[in-house]
Chains A and B, each alone.
Chain A
Amino acid sequence: MAIYRPGPFALILAILVIAFLIAPLFAVVPTSFTPTSYLSLPSGELSLRHYWTLIEDAQWRESVLLSISIGLASSALATVLATSFALGLWFQKPRFSAALIGFVMMPMIVPPVVSAITLYFLLTSISRISAALGYDTWAGVVLAHTVMIAPFAVILILVALSQLDRRIDMAARGMGASLWQRISLIIVPNLRFGIMTAFFLCFVLSWEEIGVTLFITSTNAITLPRLVWMGLRDNVDPAVAAVSVLLIALTVLVLAIVILGRERWSRSRALGQG
């Protein structure tokens, strides 16, 4: 059977675009091995000093730990809120559910800089009541990140719920299970993959969030992206290149595992059915 395939010209154009997409990712690699303390390409001698900086410098270590703890807390909050919200809509679709979904999507749609100034207003207002919860604090960043990532969790969990078989819930209900029993014993266990995916995406989004974080932190709650920003804005610190290389390597590895794993899974399923 004849199949419609791209011609050579289209192939060349697409390869150019791919080259454009990955070029800056390769560009950081040589820069990270430079022996100098400023941004440059190594000429001859290679050095690992900027990788050592990441390990030895307490500032980098602390910012990584801070980003992890903020990421875990805000994704847990966002996932719980989003799961509860999506479940409620799934049980009984209210007439205004489209409007409600649109409402909770707002932080994703509104330009990030407007969200940033809005959350800046919120956290500086909270600071006037309690300095430990507002601007430039752990709790403040968690609060702001939760607002920003919750819409993404809602989308993923709504998609997961739409693929769930309603009959298993109807069976439980028919056998007299209460709402809480249906959620905790039937639906959430069947939804665990979707919930885990939502949590993971939320964590990644919080881990690399910078637009809002820049507005709501200054000297105390310095997350990893915030520290990278500081290293980029003034004199470019090659340690930024080293941390970028590590992050890119991690992403490529995880993505390759996910895509190849999915391919093997779908192929083995296709074989099983054939």
Chain B
Amino acid sequence: MNDIRRKLGIVALIAPLPLFLALAYVLPFFGVVRWSFTLPEPGMTQYARVFADPVVQGVFVRTLRVCLIVTVLTTLAAYAISYLWVFGSRTVQIIVEFFILIPFWISTLTRAFGWLALLYNRGIVNSLLQGAGVIDEPLVLVRNEFGVVVGMMHFLIPFAVLPLASSMRNLDRRVLMAARGMGSSRLRTFWSVLVPMTMPGIIGASIITFIFSLGFFITPAILGGGRSVLIAEFIYVQTFQTVNWGLAGAISVVLVLAVGALIVLFLRLTRVEKLVG
């Protein structure tokens, strides 16, 4: 009797959150799925559009290109800063951690605005370059793909740092010192010892960056200025401007499936238990 009451008590503790999410998140998602099959008319027309319409295809190709560029550059930049964070002296570590965490805690909007102030036609970069006489005409640095890549990198670097730093922390430093002690140069130690040993972190960071970059839309919307529309902003446009909920739903479904596949790949490659525990 008492045991049953205890079990019921525990179920009553666990259940509310999954139930809440089932009602407020999973159920409405199936509503969006239904849109994709029923709007404007029942059938697969919206999915046919996703895979055949040149406009949608163009957005897909641009999204893949931008996300791949962002992933490579972000992982490289995050590697450099993780390296200093993990192997620097205690004081250096505190300073680096501070600079990694600041952008992490500042909102997407503020950061995108900062890049706008830095990069627009009469912004700080152009003013400095023109003042120094390097250029005559201002460079076009925002409201194009360059601005989008810069803004997305800025958002994603702190996220890529976490798996990289954890893979660097877990390796045995004596191996690095042994390589140096036996006369290998810094570059050789880095390339033949450190990089192979941190490969799980590199793969993990790349996949996390890529997944995040796919669903991103505030930063590209501000720094792309409506000219370099990525898939997520395209969903926004289809929902509120073109008001084609069927197409927005179909692209959402495709996006969720793609991200789901990437997550399965990520779990296979990195064994999350190691990262967490």
A: residues with CB less than 8 A from B are 2-7, 9-11, 13-14, 16-18, 20-28, 30-31, 39-41, 81-82, 84-85, 87-89, 91-92, 94, 100, 103-104, 106-107, 109-122, 125, 143, 146-147, 150, 154, 179-180, 204, 207-208, 210-211, 214-215, 225, 228-229, 232-233, 236, 240-241, 244, 247-248, 251-252, 254-256, 259, 263
Nearest residue, chain B, Cβ from A201: B105
Which of B100, B107, B154, B232 lies in contact with A225, CB distance below 8 A? B107
Q: How far is the CA of A259 from the CA of B236 in the complex (A)?
A: 38
Identify which of residues 54-104 in chain B touch chain A, using a CB-to-CB cut-off of 8 Å. Answer: 77-78, 80-81, 83-84, 87-89, 94, 96-103
Q: How far is the CA of A143 from the CA of B21 in the complex (A)?
A: 10
- List chain B residues, Cβ under 8 A from A115: 25
Q: Are B124 and A27 in contact (CB under 8 A)?
A: yes
Q: How far is the CA of A146 from the CA of B17 in the complex (A)?
A: 10
Residue B122 is within 8 A (CB to CB) of chain A in the complex: yes
Q: Are A4 and B239 in contact (CB under 8 A)?
A: no
- List chain A residues, Cβ under 8 A from B15: 88
* With A25-B103, A107-B25, A117-B248 as contacts: A88 and B108 at CB distance below 8 Å: no
> Which of B112, B249, B252 has its CB near the most chain A CB atoms (within 10 A)?
B252
Q: Are B214 and A121 in contact (CB under 8 A)?
A: no
* With A39-B120, A150-B21, A211-B217 as contacts: A10 and B106 at CB distance below 8 Å: no
Which of A13, A31, A100 lies in contact with B14, CB distance below 8 A? A100
* Top 7 closest pairs, chain A to chain B, by CB: A111-B215, A24-B114, A88-B13, A88-B14, A208-B107, A122-B28, A14-B84
Q: A92-B10, A117-B252, A251-B105 are in contact. List 15 more A-B contacts (CB 8 A).
A: A18-B99, A20-B153, A24-B113, A24-B115, A28-B114, A84-B16, A111-B256, A113-B235, A114-B255, A208-B109, A214-B236, A225-B107, A251-B102, A251-B106, A255-B102
- List chain A residues, Cβ under 8 A from B181: 2
How distant is A121 from chain B, measured CB to nearest CB, in Å?
4
Q: Are A18 and B96 in contact (CB under 8 A)?
A: yes
Q: How far is the CA of A30 from the CA of B124 in the complex (A)?
A: 9
Q: How far is the CA of A21 from the CA of B97 in the complex (A)?
A: 12
Nearest residue, chain B, Cβ from A153: B17
- List chain A residues, Cβ under 8 A from B236: 113, 116, 214-215
Residue B50 is within 8 A (CB to CB) of chain A in the complex: no
Q: How far is the CA of A143 from the CA of B32 in the complex (A)?
A: 18
12 contacts between A and B (CB under 8 A): A14-B81, A41-B127, A114-B29, A117-B32, A118-B28, A210-B218, A211-B108, A211-B217, A229-B218, A244-B110, A255-B101, A255-B102
Residue B11 is within 8 A (CB to CB) of chain A in the complex: yes
Q: Are B217 and A112 in contact (CB under 8 A)?
A: yes
Identify which of residues 16-58 in chain B touch chain A, using a CB-to-CB cut-off of 8 Å. Answer: 16-18, 20-21, 24-29, 31-32, 35
How distant is B26 from chain A, measured CB to nearest CB, in Å?
8
- Looking at chain B's contact residues, the main secondary structure is helix
Tally of B interface residues using CB under 8 Å: 90
Q: Are A106 and B25 in contact (CB under 8 A)?
A: yes
Nearest residue, chain B, Cβ from A158: B276
How distant is B228 from chain A, measured CB to nearest CB, in Å?
16
Residue B177 is within 8 A (CB to CB) of chain A in the complex: yes
- List chain B residues, Cβ under 8 A from A229: 109, 218
> Which of B10, B80, B94, B177 has its CB near the most chain A CB atoms (within 10 A)?
B80
Q: How far is the CA of A13 from the CA of B108 in the complex (A)?
A: 25
- List chain A residues, Cβ under 8 A from B16: 81, 84-85
Q: Are B157 and A179 in contact (CB under 8 A)?
A: no
Which of A10, A20, A89, A118 lies in contact with B25, CB distance below 8 A? A118
Q: Are B113 and A241 in contact (CB under 8 A)?
A: yes
